[in-house]
Amino acid sequence: MKILAFDTSTTACSVAIQNGNQIKCLDRVAPMQQAKLILPMINELLEASSLTLAHLDAIAYGCGPGSFTGIRIASSVAQGIGFATQKPIIKVSSLAALAQAAFLEQHCTKMLVAVDARMDQIYWASYEVRNKGSVELVNQEWLCRPENVCIPEMNDWCGVGDGWGIYAQALTSRSGFTLQSIYSSQLPSAQAILQLARVKYDKNEWITASEAIPVYLR
């Protein structure tokens, strides 16, 4: 299996390629520079993997929600590569990618994801690691005010995302609400997207290039 994955939904530009059992990744925190970095980073990893776009089986990208400009960049790149190669496109929620990255890097298994959406709102979702080490959504992804989040029964959950750094008081103001840990600086990663994309690929859950549009939750 050969999959290219990338995410530009935050301040980072993240790219990964799976070539059989080998995975190569590039991650650069570069606010407002993703549009300039994304294609050179893709080319760098393709060369390092001795691949061309024609060799790929699929393209996976972080579709949002997240930075409006960032998710438009990722969608545009996915569309462009998809139209040029006629390869399947796999959309992966940027909130799911954030939860999956927290599992891979922090070993969290139950994540309450909160990402700043501006205007005193957050993107909110609950994820649990279930089958084969991949996160699955609990309920649905929301756009809401921090004090209105839908919190599942509390037991060993981790707080993940910059919303926990900005709105921690509002999010933790409920009686009896405690967390195992908070990782407010955690970012989604292309490696996390790769892992989630493999699951979708095996289920034939892909789209065409024309359907590779951002998810805003607005």
Where exactly are the structural domains of the chain?
2-94+188-211, 95-183
**Nearest residue to 217 (alpha-carbon basis) of 159, 141, 145, 128:** 141
- Does residue 91 sit in helix, strand or coil? strand
How far is the C-alpha of 194 from the C-alpha of 192, rounded, in Å?
A: 5
Q: Cα separations (Å) of 201 from 42, 104, 108, 195?
A: 20, 20, 24, 10
Whether the domain at 2-94+188-211 and the domain at 95-183 fall into the same CATH topology: yes
Is residue 128 pLDDT above 90, yes or no? Answer: yes
Phi, psi of 16 (to 5 degrees): -145, 150
How far is the C-alpha of 183 from the C-alpha of 206, rounded, in Å?
A: 31
- Does residue 72 sit in helix, strand or coil? helix
The partner residues of 13 in beta bridges, in order of sequence, read 28
How far is the C-alpha of 194 from the C-alpha of 174, rounded, in Å?
A: 36
pTM of the model: 0.95
Chain centre distance of CA 136: 13
The mean pLDDT of the chain is 94
The Cβ-side half-sphere exposure at 62, using a 13 Å CA radius, reads 35
Topology (CATH) of 2-94+188-211: Nucleotidyltransferase; domain 5 (3.30.420)
The confidence score (pLDDT) of residue 218 equals 73
The confidence score (pLDDT) of residue 152 equals 77
Q: Which residues of 59-93 are buried (b: 16+ CB within 10 A; e: fewer)?
A: bbbbbbbbbeebbbbbbbbbbebbeebebbbbbbb
Topology (CATH) of 95-183: Nucleotidyltransferase; domain 5 (3.30.420)
Distance from first CA to last CA of the chain, Å, rounded? Answer: 35
Q: What angle do CA 216, 163, 130 make, to 5 degrees?
A: 75
Task: For CA atoms 93, 98, 110, 168, give the dihedral sign.
Answer: negative
Is residue 153 pLDDT above 80, yes or no? Answer: no
Is residue 172 pLDDT above 90, yes or no? Answer: no
Helix (H) or strand (E) holding 13: strand 12-19
Average pLDDT over residues 187-193: 98
Give me the numbers of helices (H) and strands (E) for the chain, helices first please: 6, 10
Structure confidence by residue, pLDDT tens digits, 108-121: 999 999 999 999 99
